[in-house]
Amino acid sequence: MLLALLLSLSALPLALADVTTGIPDAAPPGFEEWESPIVLPAPAVTGQGDWAAAVAKARAFTAQLTLDEKINVTTGVDVLGRCVGNTGTIPRLGWKGFCLEDSPLGVRFADFASAFPAGINAAATWDLSLIQARGAAMGAEHKGKGVNVALGPMTNMGRVAAGGRNWEGFGADPFLSGAATAASITGYQSSGVIATVKHYIGNEQEHFRGGSESAQIYSSNIDDRTLHEVYSWPFAEAVKAGVGAVMCSYNKINQTQACQNSKLINGVLKEELGFQGFIMSDWAAMIDGVQPALAGLDMNMPGFVGYGIGDQNDPDPATATNSWWGAQIATMVANGSVPESRVDDMVTRILAAWYQLGQDADYPDVNFSQLTEETYLDGELVNEHVNVQADHYKVIREIGAASAILLKNTDGALPLSVKNIKRIAIMGSDAGPNPDGPNGCADRGCDQGTLAMGWGSGTANFPYLVDPLAAITAHIQSIDPTVVIEGILNDFNIASVQTSASLADTCLVFVNADSGEGYITVDGNAGDRTNITLWHGGEALIAAAAAVCANTIVVQHVVGPVLVESWIDNPNVTAVLHAGIPGQETGNALVDVLFSDGSQATNPSGRLPYTIAKERSDYPADVLYTSSMTTPQITYSEGLNIDYRWFDSQDITPRFEFGFGMSYTTFAYSGLSTRKVGNVRRAVQHQSTSAAHLTSASSVKASSSASKSASRTVSASASASTITASASISLSGSVSASGSISASGSASSNATSTASAPPAQSSAVNPVGGPAALYDTVLTVSFRVQNTGKLAGNEVSQLYLGFPAAAASPPKVLRGFARTLLGAGQGSEVTIELRQKDVSVWDVVSQEWAVAEGTFTVYVGSSSRAIHLQGTFEL
Ligand SMILES: *[C@@H]1O[C@H](CO)[C@@H](O)[C@H](O)[C@H]1NC(C)=O
Ligand SMILES: *[C@@H]1O[C@H](CO)[C@@H](O)[C@H](O)[C@H]1NC(C)=O
Ligand SMILES: *[C@@H]1O[C@H](CO)[C@@H](O)[C@H](O)[C@H]1NC(C)=O
Ligand SMILES: *[C@@H]1O[C@H](CO)[C@@H](O)[C@H](O)[C@H]1NC(C)=O
Ligand SMILES: *[C@@H]1O[C@H](CO)[C@@H](O)[C@H](O)[C@H]1NC(C)=O
Ligand SMILES: *[C@@H]1O[C@H](CO)[C@@H](O)[C@H](O)[C@H]1NC(C)=O
Ligand SMILES: CC(=O)N[C@H]1CO[C@H](CO)[C@@H](O)[C@@H]1O
């Protein structure tokens, strides 16, 4: 067997050598401080908290397996299989393997499944019960199709407004994103599917994002405090919520590729956050085999080395050679570069998630195929057309309406009432269907017809798409079939638009802006948007209509912020509805918000999950579109001050601030009070460990200057004190050793003893989600909200904290919110709980969360700038 493996190793495709260039680079000049420390060994799963039973079962199962069987659990196989990811199986024990399937808004490539509102719309509701219901419905659909692991939620931060995949996530604030992520996971996993939080981490733009086939892979350079307080915050909430799986991203962080970044996987995810599940690579994100194994990666997806490299569909991971893992794992164990205990831990973690979600009992087999909506493929029954939609259209429509953000409304232009309309013009291609059909462009890679999701792997097929023109027409005609309704779907026939608009009493103009994943380019936009203005002449369309129609209502279906300066103050633009990308029920949801006389009339309460600036340059950061570097450097120099925090700290007036959104009614706030609950625990002890964790970049540099010849090679069995690290690849003079980590000090030494080394001490690992006290409530903030208008409506109250000056935090940070339904004239007491974590900062010296000392300011309002109540407290 070994001989066979070695032979197959020697037959490795040449391409494999070509793609190894991405092993941790030294930082280029000027970026020396941005390097990742090495954290070894990989903490073994401990089975703490409510994971005890699942981990025990997983350990027992793993103990029975041969190495080849273990390898099968860890490595994807059959890339052209039924799901976008398929692990190997264990026929001897009847273990059927995992089906892993996109996306964060539905079951990708499936028929008879729903197309949900995108993550960004879920976030725009600011309603955790709706977000959880969405997660539960999506989880049920995945399970119904036999999917074990759903590849969502996505919780990257939207650091740059034009970021192509921002719409898959929950907006530009870590607290909102974290809460939405946790609620989504609770929903997904309540149905029994394993949720996957992604992409870990710093995957904030599409240009140069990486992947094994990429010539250039950017490095997101993120300082330790910003990592904890912004980018990993939602991941921490995900772990606390019990997420079963994490996906590492394509890009590098501090020069080291995410899937082999031991500081981030071993150090932060598994030790600091006590993660008990498994972490998989993004699809062909791996750029090495040994490094990710030692850095804590547990699963290689989809198994092959890279897109377009070698055999894309080798059926058996244990013998496959076109993989960083598969058969390579056996070689790595045999030659001592990876301890078998690490492989055991990979398998135990994967199976633990499977047991934790109850998938060992009665879980449906895969009954669809990503490859076809036909019933048979090559004579084999692959699609049973199982209808998993149930009544999910209801929550889709409800979220569609609840996520609509009213940006402007002059003199009650909205809501509309059919009895007041004699003639309506509905203009713009965004009002109507895609002439090629709702799924006419692969992975939604075009912008034709109404926009209800972005493009790329974060999509699903529409089972149907209720376009706005059809829904509005049906609604009007159900009340008064004599209303004149003219729909003009050609964005560029300005003459028709003006003829129609000048005759109408009500003009609806539909515009949009699209983006997606970088493997598809639409109208010159390679994933990331090239601009943050409207597509196909939206501004000109609005101008044309508004020039002749004094009641022009703009509806925008957009993936993120869009500049509105050229038309927002036009007095003939009487109302603006920012509807995001609402999924299959988009037209119906819009009718609910636009009209007061619909069966499900809804008062808008959506709030912006990001800032709409007056100028693109007002944002703190932007997409890096061009670079000649092998590792383009993207330094997060704005630190904690992303989105509204930047506008606040720089005193820049946005057009519409984070958290903004209007209502058809009005609300008043009063009676702010705070109450301490229990005692703050000043020192939330981060449990110490024998692992070489949390070595700061500066100490890495210090040791490098002491020993010019030191390489960054460290031993898996080394203790913290024996780590030697060189910050500079050029000093070591050996490309193969630089920046890499190995299980033993040198290739020839002590392979056997290293391979049998015991797993990391369990005492090294924190409770799930981090020290438990972080999640204890320390303060409640109460206030009264009163509906002072004539219409029922939801008010989204927002709580921002101003930290004590010594904390050097942004002027204010979101730390709580509540969506409250209030009838006309009705009032209610709202109470928001603050956890210890919410009043803490990440102390980079002690490497723990520390409650800020001094006076906090609490701001309560209806947006990040409309603050109605203010008070102070100390802890
Ligand atoms: C990246 O480098 C910064 C600056 O030295 C450091 O604060 C941070 O901890 C590093 N993060 C990782 C994941 O290596
Ligand atoms: C590994 O998985 C493949 C694909 O399902 C299967 O054919 C093979 O028998 C498995 N190998 C072992 C050792 O179980
Ligand atoms: C061990 O095997 C792996 C996988 O083939 C290979 O990448 C690595 O270089 C080998 N290490 C040694 C020390 O031979
Ligand atoms: C912005 O990009 C869209 C989509 O590519 C394009 O239609 C539009 O013309 C661009 N706007 C400007 C001002 O260049
Ligand atoms: C507003 O619309 C009216 C037509 O109803 C038109 O006469 C007027 O010029 C428009 N105003 C602007 C600022 O375009
Ligand atoms: C391997 O390490 C063990 C424990 O340190 C030691 O006793 C043994 O001699 C070493 N073997 C080799 C071949 O270096
Ligand atoms: C092959 C298989 O397991 N098919 C299943 C697909 O899902 C439906 C509903 O969950 C089951 O009834 C089928 O048995």
In the prediction, which pLDDT does 680 show? 78
**CA 219 to centroid of ligand 1, rounded, Å:** 11
Residues 6+ apart with CB under 8 A from 246: 196, 197, 198, 200, 235, 238, 239, 269, 275, 277, 278, 279, 280
Mean pLDDT of 793-814: 98
The values of phi and psi at residue 593, to 5°, are -90, -40
Nearest CA to ligand 6 atom 9: 750
694 CB near ligand 1 (under 6 Å): no
Residue 240 CB–ligand 4 contact under 6 Å: no
Q: Counting ligands in written order, which one lies closest to the CA of residue 752?
A: 6
Q: Which helix (H) or strand (E) holds 461?
A: none
251 alpha carbon, distance to own chain's centre = 14
pLDDT at res. 748: 34
**What pLDDT score does 25 carry?**
66
* Residue 837 reports pLDDT greater than 70: yes
Q: Which of 8-12, 179-183, 487-491 has the lowest mean pLDDT?
A: 8-12
Q: Which atom of ligand 7 is nearest to the CA of 365?
A: 3
Q: Say how far apart CA 706 and CA 3 lie, in whole Å.
A: 43
Least distant ligand from the CA of 78: 2
Output 76 or 689, whichever has higher pLDDT: 76
Q: How far is the CA of 753 from the centre of ligand 6 (A)?
A: 7
Indicate whether residue 72 lines ligand 2 (CB < 6 A): yes
Residue 679 pLDDT class (50, 70, 90 cuts) = confident
Ligand 3 pocket test, candidate residues 288, 331, 734, most atoms within 8 A of CB: 331
Mean pLDDT within 386-401? 98
Residue 239 has pLDDT above 60, yes or no: yes
Q: What's the chain's average pLDDT?
A: 89
| SS3 at position 120 | helix
- Write down the pLDDT at residue 723: 30
Q: Is 530 in the pocket of ligand 4 (CB under 6 A)?
A: yes
Which one of 363, 386, 387 would you pick to mutate in the ligand 7 pocket, going by the greatest count of ligand atoms within 8 A of its CB?
386
Q: Is the CB of 542 under 6 A from ligand 5?
A: no
Fill in the DSSP letter of residue 471: H
Mean pLDDT across 214-223: 95
Ligand 7 centroid to Cα of residue 152, in Å, is: 22
CB distance 290 to ligand 3 below 6 Å: yes
**Cβ neighbours of residue 3 closer than 8 Å, sequence gap 6 or more:** none
pLDDT exceeds cutoff 50 at 487: yes
Pocket test for ligand 3, best of 6, 323, 337 (most atoms within 8 A of CB): 337
Q: What residue owns the CA closest to ligand 1's atom 14?
A: 36
Is the pLDDT at 507 greater than 50? The verdict is: yes
Of the residues 282, 314, 491, 838, only one is catalytic, namely 282
Question: Which residue is listed with tokens 């001989």?
Answer: 3
How far is Cα 441 from Cα 243, in angstroms, rounded to an integer? 33
Give the number of whichever ligand sits closest to the CA of residue 548.
5
Residue 24 is predicted with a pLDDT of 57
Which pLDDT band holds residue 637 (cuts at 50, 70, 90)? very high
| Three-class DSSP category at 506 | strand
CB of 34 closer than 6 angstroms to any ligand 1 atom: yes
582 lines ligand 3 (CB under 6 A): no
Determine contact, residues 754/339, Cβ cutoff 8 Å.
yes
What is the Cα–Cα distance from 220 to 256, expressed in whole angstroms? 9
Ligand 5 center to 610 CA (angstroms) = 32
Q: How large is the average pLDDT for residues 130-141?
A: 98
Nearest ligand for residue 385 CA: 7
Q: What is the distance between the alpha carbons of residues 181 and 478, in angstroms, rounded to a whole number?
A: 39
Is the C-beta atom of 746 inside 6 A of ligand 3?
no
Q: At what angle do helices 392-402 and 586-594 cross, to 10 degrees?
A: 50
- HSE-CB of 790 using CA atoms within 13 angstroms: 3
pLDDT digits (tens, 9 = 90+) for 445-469: 999 999 999 999 999 999 999 999 9
Q: Whose CA is nearest to atom 3 of ligand 7?
A: 365
pLDDT at position 743: 57
Q: Model confidence over 50-90: pLDDT tens digits?
A: 999 999 999 999 999 999 999 999 999 877 889 999 999 99
Confirm if 869 and 857 have CB atoms less than 8 A apart: no
CB of residue 96 inside a 6 A radius of ligand 7: no
> Is there an atom of ligand 3 within 6 Å of 335 CB?
yes
Closest atom of ligand 5 to 547 CA is 14
Residue 694 pLDDT: 32
Q: Which atom from ligand 5 is nearest to the alpha carbon of 572?
A: 1
Predicted confidence at residue 682, as pLDDT, reads: 66
Most confident of 544-548, 704-708, 745-749: 544-548
Spatial CB neighbours of 775, under 8 Å, sequence gap ≥ 6? 240, 769, 835, 836, 837
Integer Cα distance of 562 and 464 in angstroms:
27
Residue 707 above 60 pLDDT? no
Which residue is closest in CA terms to ligand 7's atom 14? 364
The pLDDT score that the predictor gives to residue 307 is 84
CA of 538 to the centre of ligand 4 (A): 9
Model confidence at 330, pLDDT cuts 50, 70, 90, reads very high
Distance 30 CA to ligand 2 centre (A): 49
Compute the distance between CA of residue 345 and CA of residue 146 in angstroms, rounded to an integer: 26
Ligand 4 centroid to Cα of residue 529, in Å, is 9
- The region of weakest confidence among 287-296, 689-698, 707-716 is 707-716
- Residue 213: the pLDDT is 72
Give mean pLDDT, residues 151-155. Answer: 98
User: 823: helix, coil or strand?
Assistant: coil
Work out the pLDDT band at 240, boundaries 50, 70, 90: very high
| Amino acid (one-letter) located at 473 | T
Any ligand 7 atom below 6 A from CB of 367: yes
Ligand 6, atom 1: closest residue by C-alpha? 750
SS3 content of the chain, % helix, strand, coil (to 5): 30, 20, 50
Does residue 736 carry a pLDDT above 60? no
Site to substitute for ligand 6 among 335, 750, 752, 756, most atoms within 8 A of C-beta: 750
- Residue type, position 776, single letter: D
From the CA of 72, how far away is ligand 2's center (Å)? 6
What is the share, in percent, of the chain residues with pLDDT greater than 90?
83
Give the C-alpha separation, 67 to 73, whole Å: 10
Would you say the CB of residue 826 lies under 6 angstroms from ligand 6? no
745 alpha carbon – ligand 3 mean position (Å): 14
Give yes or no: 282 in active site.
Answer: yes
Distance 332 CA to ligand 3 centre (A): 5
Nearest CA to ligand 5 atom 14: 547
pLDDT at 26: 81
Q: Please, are residues 147 and 99 in contact by the beta-carbon 8 Å criterion? A: yes
Give the number of the ligand closest to the Cα of residue 696: 1
Ligand 4 pocket test: which of 522, 525, 529, 533 has the largest number of ligand atoms within 8 Å of its C-beta? 533
Q: Which amino acid is at 803?
A: F
Q: Of the ligands numbered here, which is closest to the C-alpha atom of 546?
A: 5
What is the 539 CA–ligand 5 centroid distance (Å)? Answer: 16
666 touches 871 (CB < 8 A):
no
- Residue 308 confidence (pLDDT): 79
Give the bridge partners for 861, in sequence order. Answer: 798, 867
CA 97 – ligand 2 centroid, Å: 9
Assess whether pLDDT exceeds 70 at residue 505: yes
d(CA 603, CA 414) in angstroms, rounded, equals: 10
DSSP output for 207-241: TT---TT-S---EEE--HHHIIIIISHHHHHHHHT
390 Cβ below 6 A of ligand 7: no
H/E run at residue 550: none
Helix (H), strand (E) at residue 738: none
Q: Is the CB of 545 under 6 A from ligand 5?
A: no
The tokens describing 646, both together, are 């930047």
Tell me: pLDDT of 739 over 90. no
Give every CB contact of residue 356 below 8 A, 6+ residues apart in sequence.
Answer: 51, 54, 242, 244, 276, 277
Q: Is 368 in the pocket of ligand 1 (CB under 6 A)?
A: no
**What's the gap in Å between 396 CA and the centre of ligand 6?**
62
Question: Locate tokens 């102070």: which residue?
Answer: 872
805 CB within 6 A, ligand 5? no
Lowest mean pLDDT among 18-22, 136-140, 226-230, 274-278: 18-22
The continuous run of DSSP H or E covering 51 comes out as none
Ligand 2 atom nearest the C-alpha of 77 is 4
pLDDT > 60? residue 525: yes
pLDDT value at residue 683? 56
Q: Range with the lowest mean pLDDT among 210-224, 677-691, 749-763, 771-785?
A: 749-763
